[in-house]
């Protein structure tokens, strides 16, 4: 294995790793040589630990809800106590409570924001505290990687997922802040927007293909996570990737489309009407801040027989 892709001697935490994407990510990191702290709510975390150990790897389970602020500290300390270091954080844990905005209950909103956004924040805060301390002890940068799980739902503004879309937008902003705040300590933070067939998404996607690796197999996402966790990714931070099928797409930052200036010191409503109304006249339904152009990626990405 190329040394720049080798994770031997590194320790990783993967949340929501008892099944689906998290499991695939934990197995991919272990395959690259990392010791893995496997987090999930129940016994499935222990099952994944057994899988990793059966393949010759190192792993330990920590059960608990990521939205419990103290769990972040426990995950980091478990990595350090069991494996001697903590180097990689993969935030994956999440839930769905899909509703249109007019059917959304308070608990639908609170539960999704709590698990996704607060869960990412709790672990990121614990990781940041650890790496900052280690950097001060070392007198320079240390090795640290954060891979957060965002979603195309935030890029599109998914109509049936106002809670999930908002949480994922927040996670993207959290990733950018983490990247900016921790870069001086050697930490790299990126977000992925994966499509994968899991128990949580089985109602969303069509049935799997019967030949070859499913285009939406979680293992495809695990490979990108494995790479972003490695020394090879040292110059990649503050980025958002869409990943599925045989494709990894790098998202561009939002751009200023146009600038409107008042003739004098401030706008009047009439002047705003004069400039903006004509500019937006006849504008298409999908010509909004939403990144609907990303749908154009789908066909080439899933045409795996080409």
Asked if residue 169 lies in contact with residue 218, where contact means CB atoms within 8 angstroms, the answer is: no
Pick the catalytic residue from 118, 135, 165, 168.
168
Spatial strand order of the sheet with 187-194 comes to 59-63, 35-40, 11-14, 88-91, 144-149, 187-194, 240-244, 247-250
pTM: 0.91
53 is catalytic: no
Catalytic residue among 164, 165, 179, 230: 164
* DSSP annotation of 282: T
Q: Is 107 a catalytic residue?
A: no
pLDDT digits (tens, 9 = 90+) for 143-177: 999 999 999 999 988 999 999 999 999 999 999 99
Non-local (6+) Cβ contacts of 19 within 8 A are 40, 44, 198, 199
Q: Identify the bridge partners of residue 56 per DSSP, sorted by sequence position.
A: none
Please state the rounded mean pLDDT for residues 216-242.
95
Measured CA to CA in angstroms, residue 47 lies from 37, 40, 42, 160, 280 at distances of 12, 11, 10, 33, 55
Per the residue annotation, which of 67, 124, 151, 230 is the catalytic one? 151
39 phi, psi to nearest 5 deg? -110, 135
Residue 302 has pLDDT above 50, yes or no: no
Residue 168 known to be catalytic: yes
Question: Considering only 38-47, 104-113, 208-217, 276-285, which range has the smallest mean pLDDT?
Answer: 208-217
């Amino acid at each position: 294995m190329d040394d720049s892709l080798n994770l031997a001697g590194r320790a990783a935490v993967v949340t929501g790793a008892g099944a689906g994407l998290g499991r695939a990510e934990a197995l991919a990191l272990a395959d690259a040589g990392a010791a893995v702290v496997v987090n999930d709510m129940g016994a499935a975390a222990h099952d994944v630990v057994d899988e990793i150990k059966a393949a010759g790897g190192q792993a330990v389970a920590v059960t608990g809800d990521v939205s419990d602020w103290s769990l972040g500290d426990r995950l980091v300390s478990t990595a350090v106590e069991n494996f001697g270091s903590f180097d990689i954080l993969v935030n994956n844990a999440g839930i769905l409570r899909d509703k249109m905005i007019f059917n959304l209950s308070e608990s639908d909103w609170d539960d999704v924001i709590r698990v996704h956004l607060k869960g990412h924040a709790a672990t990121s805060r614990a990781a940041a505290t650890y790496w900052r301390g280690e950097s001060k002890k070392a007198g320079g940068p240390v090795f640290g990687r954060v891979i957060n799980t965002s979603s195309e739902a935030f890029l599109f503004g998914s109509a049936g997922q106002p809670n999930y879309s908002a949480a994922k937008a927040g996670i993207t902003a959290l990733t950018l802040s983490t990247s900016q705040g921790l870069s001086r300590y050697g930490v790299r933070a990126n977000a992925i927007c994966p499509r994968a067939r899991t128990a949580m998404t089985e109602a969303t996607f069509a049935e799997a293909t019967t030949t070859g690796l499913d285009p939406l197999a979680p293992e495809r996402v695990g490979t990108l996570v494995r790479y972003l966790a490695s020394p090879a990714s040292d110059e990649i931070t503050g980025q958002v990737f869409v990943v599925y099928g045989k494709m990894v797409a790098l998202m561009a930052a939002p751009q200023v489309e146009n600038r409107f200036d008042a003739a004098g010191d401030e706008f009047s409503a009439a002047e705003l009407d004069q400039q903006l109304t004509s500019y937006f006249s006849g504008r298409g339904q999908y010509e909004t801040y939403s990144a609907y152009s990303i749908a154009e990626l789908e066909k080439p990405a899933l045409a795996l027989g080409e």
